[in-house]
Amino acid sequence: MFVDEIDIFAKAGDGGAGCVSFRREKYVPRGGPDGGDGGDGGSVWLEADPALTTLLDYHYQRHYEAPRGQHGKGANRHGASGGDLVLRVPLGTTVSDRDAGGILGDLTTPGERLLAVRGARGGRGNARFVSSTNRAPRRADLGRHGESRWLHLELRLLADVGVIGFPNAGKSTLVSRVSAATPKIADYPFTTLVPTLGIVRVDGERAFVIADLPGLIPGASDGKGLGHQFLRHTERTRLLLHVLDLDPTTGRDPLEDLRVIDAELRAYSAELAARPRLIAANKIDLTDTLARRERVEQFCRERGLPLFVISAVTGAGLGDLVRGLAVRLEETGWVRAAS
């Protein structure tokens, strides 16, 4: 199961209560107050972990509470503070307050942390209240209650290239051929229901991350099909690779497919529609694709769109496509060393 959006409840630890105590020792007739402070409650943090790719763990457990602080004791012994609770989330997770609204943070760097709820302060013991006029205070503070809130976690995949197109256009096959990713591949639409990431090695020194994104249909910007689940994952990509299907048996026009998806991108986000883009005309290995191919080439030539003619099945043109993607990424300031 791939989970990329979920609500969780986070509660910080309560503070421990302060202690009312008086020193009682033989031969010490005026020992005085010695009640210790209560410990602070633990805080709840969110930490970006590059080893995670989904919010699945939070599907099974929604409530999280940090440890509370211990109560103070006599002999000026302070209560132990509760340890912080660290919840690990994938890179690209946006955190917001579900009820109040507003984004609390965006975790995009490995190891980056966000304070979700702060632990409460512990109460003061009676030793804190000694004064010149009150030598034997019988007062201590209770620990405060830790704050709590419902958090909305939303994962937006971090990828250099997002592969978009109509269902069954060959996106998954393409990603599986240029990277080590293993997306589901079949001869029916919507085989890709969740995004899949893969690493494409350009040469010995350069590599980029490519994302196989679920297929788009008309009305996706209004939530039809996979709707916003698809479009949300395109927002962080530097570059979009639009795969067109040249197969004449589908009954669809590749140029009309291109216009439909352009319209959906514009309806969802003007900034996303302006993202740098390359076109890949796929399935040239099939017969009777020449006429469609020539129309796509003319269309892209007139509009200055970079076009690569490929076959994801046979591998024809994939080397040129990978190099073309790398060149365009470098123009956007992309730098990613191959490991």
Q: List the one residue out of 112, 107, 104, 118 whose CA is nearest residue 152.
A: 104
What is the C-alpha to C-alpha distance for residues 167 and 250, in angstroms, rounded to an integer?
Answer: 11
Domain span(s) for CATH 3.40.50.300 in the chain:
161-331
Q: What is 1-155's CATH number?
A: 2.70.210.12
- Strands 103-107 and 93-97, by their bridges, are antiparallel
- pLDDT 10s digits, 27-71: 777 788 999 999 999 999 999 998 888 888 899 999 999 999 999
**Helix, strand, coil share (%) of the chain residues, nearest 5:** 20, 25, 55
* pTM greater than 0.85: no
The whole-angstrom separation of Cα 328 and Cα 320 is 12
Domain with CATH 2.70.210.12 in the chain: 1-155
10-residue mean pLDDT profile of the chain (339 residues): values are: 82 97 82 93 96 88 97 95 96 93 92 96 95 92 95 87 86 88 51 70 84 64 50 81 92 90 84 89 93 95 94 94 92 66
CATH T-level topology, domain 161-331:
Rossmann fold (3.40.50)
Q: What is the pLDDT of residues 306-330, one digit of tens each?
A: 999 999 999 999 999 999 999 999 8
Alpha helices by DSSP H, the chain: 57-60, 171-178, 227-232, 254-268, 270-273, 290-303, 318-331
